[in-house]
A and B are shown apart, each in its own frame.
Chain A
Amino acid sequence: DVKVTQSSRYLVKRTGEKVFLECVQDMDHENMFWYRQDPGLGLRLIYFSYDVKMKEKGDIPEGYSVSREKKERFSLILESASTNQTSMYLCASSERQGAGNEQYFGPGTRLTVT
């Protein structure tokens, strides 16, 4: 059974703080993804990674960066948090690159920036 875990379920940070969101998967998946989920907008891809130390921008990368030093771990970094980054953040992984691979999601981190 694939398991994707995220470091926090709820997080409250102040404007300007540096924020780290951690994601770990236990199935040796090559691909990992970070999304944000907002009401009425669905899920929007922030960044993804096909391999260790590789990263690619998604649809809304501005204000975010990522790190993938180990295959199982994919971190999302908010360099200077702003109130418009208040959202639900979802991490996902999939087995390998390719169109048909199911993505497995973590429970999400609800981030509030005050």
Chain B
Amino acid sequence: AQSVSQHNHHVILSEAASLELGCNYSYGGTVNLFWYVQYPGQHLQLLLKYFSGDPLVKGIKGFEAEFIKSKFSFNLRKPSVQWSDTAEYFCAVSSNTGKLIFGQGTTLQVKP
């Protein structure tokens, strides 16, 4: 069965610190991978996605993620976080039918 695991449930960083959020998935077929973000009081929105090609994917607001097939991982990174990055982050994998399987989510708190 497909599953997604996010290693960190709650991360606290100071502004300008670097961020890496872990995501591992379990799926036997071709994967499509997503990171979604939910800012306080806002809709869940797409941060970035990987379908094929370059395993380093760039998204909005300076975020990037690297697909490492051998490690079944799709970690999210940002070199320097801002207070406005405070949000909940979800990793997801898509099946052939378009269903998304989400991880448990990681709450990021950035201290000014």
Contacts and interface: CB of A to CB of B under 8 A. Distances in A.
Interface of A: 4, 31, 33, 35, 40-45, 48, 58, 90, 92, 94, 96-103, 105-108
Nearest to B50: A100
A75 B98 CA distance: 20
Interface residues of B, number: 27
Contact of B94 (A4, A40, A58, A99): A99
A99 B96 contact: yes
Given A43-B100, A43-B102, A99-B30, 6 more contacts: A4-B43, A33-B99, A42-B103, A58-B99, A97-B98, A106-B43
Contacts of B67: none
A89 B17 CA distance: 33
A92 B92 CA distance: 14
Contacts of A106: 43
B9 interface: yes
Contacts of B101: 45
B90 interface: yes
B104 A103 contact: no
A42 B104 contact: yes
A-B CB proximity, top 6 nearest: A105-B44, A42-B102, A43-B102, A42-B104, A99-B94, A99-B32
6 contacts: A33-B99, A43-B102, A98-B96, A98-B97, A101-B98, A105-B43
B97 A100 contact: no
Given A41-B104, A42-B104, A102 B99 contact: no
A40 B46 contact: no
A102 B46 contact: yes
Interface string B17-61: 000000000000010101010000011111001010000000000
B82 interface: no
A73 B34 CA distance: 25
Contacts of A43: 44, 90, 100, 102, 105
A99 B102 contact: no
Contacts of A101: 94, 98
